[in-house]
Amino acid sequence: MTNMKIQPASISQESSLTKPATPVNAGVVTPVPDSPLFNSTGLISAELQRFLLTLPRPDREKADPLTVEMYEKIENGNIALRELDRYLQEAVFKKNADKFSYELSGAQPTPEQIELLRKLGFCDEVRVESPGIKFDTAIIWGGTLAAVEARITSLLEQPVDFSRTVLLGTNTRSLDKGEKTHASETEDAMRAFLERCNQKTRRNFCPERLPTNESEMVAFVWEAMKPSSLEHLPVITIDTPGRSPTDLLAKYKHVPGTADTFGYLLLFAKENKIDLGRRFIAASSEPHILRQTVDAEYKLRSVDYPFDVLSGIGRANSSASITLYLQEIAKLVNTQQRIATLPSLR
């Protein structure tokens, strides 16, 4: 690939919370209780309660008694952050499907669930409301080529300026997965994408080869899509290695997560004396916007990085599976729990 330097870095801390809205004012970062998932008293919000009650209850004969007890607290609306985090970790991530009388894999949300998810901030487009805001650093989260394209498109549509671009990815996710290759990441699809971009930008970006992993692909997509007005901007591409064998999450997933990649960015900037500034805009896509922005906030807070603005933006999506929505809620609650236990916020 031409004119692209993929820079490795390394860190190991955790993740963070901004409140979604449609649209969102740039820079609004809210404390844990003031989120769409919780009310002003720190208990579960009515919308999240209603959403969780659309899912079948735990099987009393198979589930842990504590899990059943926590579900009853959800029914009563008196479950707080710590208990809800424990419940969702059991229900969503600990391979306990046999303890629940339902199978979520691949199922689509019902109209009632979509309406509740929309109120919780997981479906609609999120934009910067005030035009002309100057950001120091624009973050583009990795993902599939289709997701990265949507994220860059959203960023370029915002009425804002920024001083540098950061591309977050990992070399541990290969694009070629045989029959399981994502539709947007086949060689034919990437060539079609490149042709489409060159026609739009009136440039002739022609890399020596197509990308083979996620880090290369994110840089490839940015290079193909960026307008000539941004040619002068510095670009930092973070190539995050896989999780360490000592990381408890490594046995479930070797590919690093959002918090890992953002943490690598912060360490890379520190080691190379790069000033990322205090105003960040992070381009994601639904249903990941709120959770990924919160992951970034937690990383910033966990290393005492001073920041003034952290705005998550991205395009709408209401077609994800119920499993993905539930996982995003569980991850978000878990990160909020981590934020709540940071020494600086106690």
pLDDT in tens, 68-99: 889 899 999 999 999 999 888 887 776 554 44
pLDDT digit string, tens, across residues 274-321? 999 999 999 999 999 999 999 999 999 999 999 999 999 999 987 888
- List alpha helices for 141-288, DSSP H: 145-157, 187-201, 214-225, 258-271
Q: pLDDT (tens digit, 9 = 90+) per residue, 212-241?
A: 999 999 999 999 999 999 999 999 999 988
- From the list 257, 182, 245, 259, the residue with the least C-alpha distance to 213 is 182
Look at residues 222, 224, 215, 225 and name the one whose alpha carbon lies nearest to residue 175: 215
**DSSP string covering 247-259:** SGGGGT--S--HH
Cα separation of 260 and 28, whole Å?
Answer: 23
For the record, the structure tokens of 182 come out as: 């994502």
